[in-house]
Structure 1
Amino acid sequence: MSGRSNKLSPYLFTAPAVLLFAFIVLVPIAMTFFFSFYDWNGIGKMEFTGLDNYTRAIHDRIYIHSYGHILIYIAATVVVEVLVGLGLAGLITMGRKGSGLFRLAFFTPVMLPMIVVSYLWKFVYNSDFGLINSILNAIGLDSWTRVWLGNPDTALYAICIVSGWIYAGFYMTIFYSGIQRISKEIFESAYLDGANERQIFFQIKVPMIRSLVDTAIMLCVLTGFQSFDLFYVMTNGGPYNSTEIVTTYLVKVVFNHMSIGYGSALAVIMTLVIAIIGLIANKLKRKDSDVLEY
């Protein structure tokens, strides 16, 4: 009897976690996939439509363009978050005075709630009394003033800058920790050989934290699809759908238009897109690792 109970013990201990995961993750995924084949407003009768929702999604101009906006957002965040964060990490690891205060100042935005940051930057971008236009007017560059969040040509890039302001410090901290783990003897040898700070950064620091940089880029890609609150608060997809991303469009389809079936189909497609990107990235990472080992 005791032997049998010992065999069952692992299953009994893991059962609560498995059931919780199934209830929170697996069941909603299955239900979303099920609803995607129906026309349903969440209240009335469900009508089976087969693949009509998926066909509609393929021809939905706003939905297709939302992926283009995400790609622009991801490309911009790789520059203003990862590359800027990498540059900041290189600066604060030079050992100069005040680096601790410098590190704290850039990490502070990460700790602020996204809602607070969004409303703060809406004030900064305000066309009437915002900080940016006020500075431009004060220095005589009136022609440079814009309705930053109300102009389809600038709204998306304005949001990208806000995202960079928030997360550059986050990636800076990650890269800083990685550089700190590099043996000091390597840097001392480089200094003895006459290397300057620029050479040490590009030829020693960056190559030795390559895995962290790859992880940061992957985080940018995945979080790009999860970005909702920043876009929702600052522009809610406007103006004229120029900042519409998949998640903001999903909310409008489901909650504003009450189209549960179509919204479910859009969610399924987005899940497949993210899964494919993850598989491709994993394959490229393995291929890169094999080349390095060889």
Structure 2
Amino acid sequence: MSGRSNKFSPYLFISPALLLFGFVVLVPVLMTFVFSFYDWNGIGTMKFTGFDNYIRAFQDRVYMNSYGHTLIYIVATVFVEVIAGLGLAGLITMGRKGSGLFRLAFFVPVMLPMIVVSYLWKFVYNSDFGLINILLEKIGLESWTRVWLGNPDTALYAICIVSGWVYAGFYMTIFYSGIQRISREVYESAYLDGAGEGQIFFKIKVPMIRNLVETGIMLCVLTGFQSFDLFYVMTNGGPYNSTEIVTTYLVKVVFTHMSIGYGSALAVIMTIVIAVIGLVAGRLNKKDSSVLEY
């Protein structure tokens, strides 16, 4: 009797976690997939429409363009977050005085709530009394002043800069910790061979934390699809849908237009896109690992 109870006891211990996971994750995912085949506003009668919602999604110009905006945002943030963070990590690991204060100053934006950051930068970008336009006027570059968040040509890139300002310090901290694990003997050998700080950074530091850099880029890609609050507060997809990304459009469809079925179809498509990107990235990482081992 005791042997049988011992046999089932592990399942009893993990059952609460499995039930919670099923209720919080699996059930919503399954229901979203089911709702995607219906025309439903969340209140009235559900009407089965088959694949009509998916066909409508691929004919929806705003939704298709939102993937293009997300791609631009991801590419831009790889540079202003990952590459900038890598450069900052290289600077603060040169061993100069004040590097601790420098590191803290760049990490502070990461600790601020994104809502606060969004409203702060809305004031910075304000066309009438914003810091950027005032500074440009003071240095005699009045022709460069813009309605930064109200211009379709600049709004998306303005948001990318804000994202870089926030998360560059986050990636800097990750790369800094990786560089700190490199043995001092490697640096000493490079210095004896006459290498400068630039050569050490590009030929020693970056190659030896390559896995961290690749992880940072992948993290930047996946979080790019999850971005919402920054876009919602600063532009809410405007002007003229020029900053509409997948998540902001999905929220509008579900909560503004009350189209639960269509919104569910959009969510399913987005999930498939993210899954495909993850699988491709995993394959590429495996290929790189096998080549290096060979």
Q: Secondary structure at the match of 2:137?
A: helix
**Structure 1 moving runs of 4+ over 3 Å:** none
Post-superposition CA distance 1:248-270 (Å, at most 9, x none):
00010000000000000000000
Q: Name the counterpart of 1:230.
A: 230
Query: One-letter code of the match for 2:229?
Result: D
Counterpart CA distance in 2 for 1:9 and 1:167 is 44
Q: Does 1:94 align with 2:94?
A: yes
Q: Secondary structure at the match of 2:16?
A: helix
How many angstroms does 1:4 deviate by? Answer: 0.9
Query: One-letter code of the match for 1:147?
Result: V
Post-superposition CA distance 1:187-245 (Å, at most 9, x none):
11111111110010000000000000000000010000000000000000000000000
Q: Name the counterpart of 1:120.
A: 120
Q: Name the counterpart of 2:83.
A: 83
Counterpart CA distance in 2 for 1:252 and 1:268 is 16
How many angstroms does 1:114 deviate by? Answer: 0.2
Instruction: Report % sequence identity.
Output: 84
5+ residue gaps, structure 1, are none
TM-score (norm. length: structure 2): 1.00
Query: One-letter code of the match for 2:11?
Result: Y
Q: Name the counterpart of 2:64.
A: 64
- My pick for the range that moved more, 10-19 or 58-67, is 10-19
Query: One-letter code of the match for 2:182?
Result: I
How many angstroms does 1:48 deviate by? Answer: 0.2
How many angstroms does 1:9 deviate by? Answer: 1.3
5+ residue gaps, structure 2, are none
Q: RMSD across aligned C-alpha pairs, in angstroms?
A: 0.4
- My pick for the range that moved more, 220-229 or 1-10, is 1-10
Q: Name the counterpart of 2:20.
A: 20
Q: Secondary structure at the match of 2:117?
A: helix
Counterpart CA distance in 2 for 1:7 and 1:137 is 76
Q: Secondary structure at the match of 1:136?
A: helix
Counterpart CA distance in 1 for 2:178 and 2:234 is 34
- Count of residue pairs the alignment pairs up: 294
- My pick for the range that moved more, 104-113 or 11-20, is 11-20
Counterpart CA distance in 2 for 1:10 and 1:198 is 55
How many angstroms does 1:15 deviate by? Answer: 0.7
Q: Name the counterpart of 1:271.
A: 271
Q: Name the counterpart of 2:254.
A: 254
Equivalences for residues 1-294 of structure 1 within 5 A: 1-294=1-294
